[in-house]
A and B are shown apart, each in its own frame.
Chain A
């Protein structure tokens, strides 16, 4: 027994012990510059830019990039391996879109110097709609070093937002969701966008107000406004105007959003300003008479194109567009109804007063006409002088 024990430490285990000893205390002596690959993905409205950097030290164990094996790697040696390197890259870094492989158009290889040595650099590009999900499968270097990590930076150029993630042998896959902010779509956030747009889009608000101001009154034959009496009558008139406006702008909003009709935005904006002027002037010198609803419809058509450009700014993908369109429009109507709900009782209650007839109706309309006239000039001649 004793003999065996002695043989134990004198013989077989001796090498092992020496080996174990050589590592005692060693952990902290390792450098931090572990094996890392750097991937930067930048997504714009319709493109995906890829930049990949891999250390020559990592590539060196996978491919004979040091041709003469002398320990130095020259650009010539690296370049001669370019096809093999590209094949390795394409076999181990794959992109997909809707489960289908997504091809990257790679530029030719470059190099970069980091503090821990030289890296091979590739940049490439692919067309990707911002509404699409992009899958990334990173298997580079893992087969030679399970401790390799792919450090990926995801840059969303549309929102300016940046994210990062780490690829490891256990987590080699990543789905980069559509660039549309999911919160906005999921929680009916587009409704809020619609409300927000009507409340802060002063031109639509003023147009509506200009149409509604005379709703508690009606014109006499000689072209004067007189206050009307019954609430049902007033309400009916308001509903007619609002419905006409809504029907018209919903129609053109849908047509523009779906890409069926496209109008130059400056022209649209100018006509919107003109519509506000017209509605306000009509309150001072009634021209449209009993045709206010018709006017609301005709000008509503052009306002719809205005809403469409606001919707476009929210950059929805074609997939999310229909739902977004519906929600956005719903928001616009809700915002509009709130304005009506606030306006109608107040106007009805004060309709006979001097304040309403002179200050509200005449003064207000004149002010609206002035402001909208300013917009009209600004927008038609592409100037900037209005404070809002």
Chain B
């Protein structure tokens, strides 16, 4: 109830809220019933993918089929890809389970270890992921995938010197745009945003036709983020449009894009685009943040239902002891539950784990809301030390 009262609506709204939450929590608690008809549809999903069918076959045929390594690697890759496209962390667990036999064993190949690191990274277990990558590189020092993943993790953690070394190692193993993007990701955080953007755009223009879709999506998204921090909204928009032309439902890009639109007051636009993408928590968060604003065009009840659902997902993550949610929960507390003190605590805990622009902005915003001048000063000191550039937050 505390959560609901925090919104500060009138008593009429509060009553509606209570009714709404009562029905909602009722649903969450899972009241058991026996369906009236055999034809009642309990769940509607897309048909199973080959990886899932193959996986199920294993259990249905009394657990005798155990995939060999190539088959296991292929299944694990498919599951990891599904975890991203479906926004469903179950698939990471399945990928881990497929690889479990080789996971700890001495015969773990570089490929197994790289996939393992990918899964660990997906769970924000950065220390373990770096360890797996080092093991992979001992077996296969020329693994571009391992160097790239290392560079990414080091950049996310704000370990820029290490990230630069990873990029140097990567430079002789990967295609020019990948190397450029990995390098720009580090350089744009450490005082060379302008040069990074220019370098990215030049390489993009030259390599566009020769590069895979995934690399293009990554490079354009990165360019859009840098352009946004430099205050070049037109350039940012152009890069976003490029991504959406190739991959209209790319979750990561949608999240970054939604943040720029929310800052510009384009709530209705965000709502329209994210409405049916809310299975991802990051996108549900942005959707809810947009929807509760009066200019979103969303009725209050729908908006609050989204807020409540996000709260429930966070509660459930707590129940299973998950640490995945620090960033989202901090924003939830800050923007939706109006609890700046809790938001600040979460933002600080999150800052210890990851230091991307969105995390820095969150720390500044939460410290301002909570009136924690010392935290804000520290965050600015960090920005000065690394020559981090961000025109929106000074």
- A→B interface (CB under 8 Å): 5, 8-10, 13-14, 16-36, 38, 51, 53, 56-58, 60-64, 66, 69-76, 78-79, 108, 110-115, 117-119, 121, 123, 142-149, 151, 164, 166
In the complex, how many angstroms separate the beta carbon of A38 from the nearest chain B beta carbon?
A: 7
Q: How many B residues face the partner with a CB closer than 8 A?
A: 88
B314/A61 in contact, CB under 8 A:
no
Q: Provide the residues of chain B in CB contact with A151, threshold 8 Å.
A: 319-320
Known contacts A21-B178, A29-B87: A61-B34 contact under CB 8 Å: no
Is B209 in the interface zone, CB < 8 Å from A? no
| Chain B hits for A51, CB < 8 A | 32
In the complex, are the beta carbons of A21 and B215 less than 8 A apart? yes
Q: Which residues from chain B contact A36 at a C-beta distance below 8 Å?
A: 316, 319-320
A-contact bits for B118-149, CB 8 A (1 contact / 0 none)? 10011110000000000000000011110011
Can you list 15 A-B contacts (CB < 8 A)? A14-B175, A17-B148, A17-B178, A17-B215, A30-B87, A30-B92, A32-B317, A33-B313, A34-B90, A71-B47, A74-B38, A74-B39, A75-B39, A147-B92, A148-B93
Given A9-B175, A76-B39, A28:B281 Cβ within 8 A: yes
- Give the residues from 188 to 220 in chain B that come closer than 8 angstroms, CB to CB, to chain A: 212, 214-215, 217-218
List the interface of chain B (C-beta within 8 A of A). Answer: 27-28, 30-35, 37-48, 52, 55-56, 59-60, 63, 77, 80-81, 83-84, 87-90, 92-94, 96-97, 100, 111, 114, 118, 121-124, 142-145, 148-149, 152, 172-175, 178, 212, 214-215, 217-218, 221, 251-252, 255, 279-283, 309, 312-314, 316-317, 319-322, 324-325, 327-328
B168 to chain A, nearest CB (A): 14
Counting residue pairs across A and B whose Cβ atoms lie within 8 Å, the total is 247
Q: Does the CB pair A29–B255 fall under 8 Å?
A: yes
- A31→B277 CA distance, assembly (Å): 11
Chain B residues near A118 (CB-CB < 8 A): 42-43
Identify the closest chain A residue to B285 (Cβ): A28
Residues of B near A147 (CB, < 8 A) are 89-90, 92-93, 96-97
B28 touches A115 (CB 8 A): yes
Q: How far is the CA of A280 from the CA of B93 in the complex (A)?
A: 76
Interface of A is mostly: mixed
Establish whether residues A119 and B281, one from each chain, have CB atoms under 8 Å apart when the complex forms: no
Closest chain B CB from A30 CB (angstroms): 4
In the assembled complex, which residues on chain B have CB atoms less than 8 Å from the CB atom of A13?
143-145, 173-174
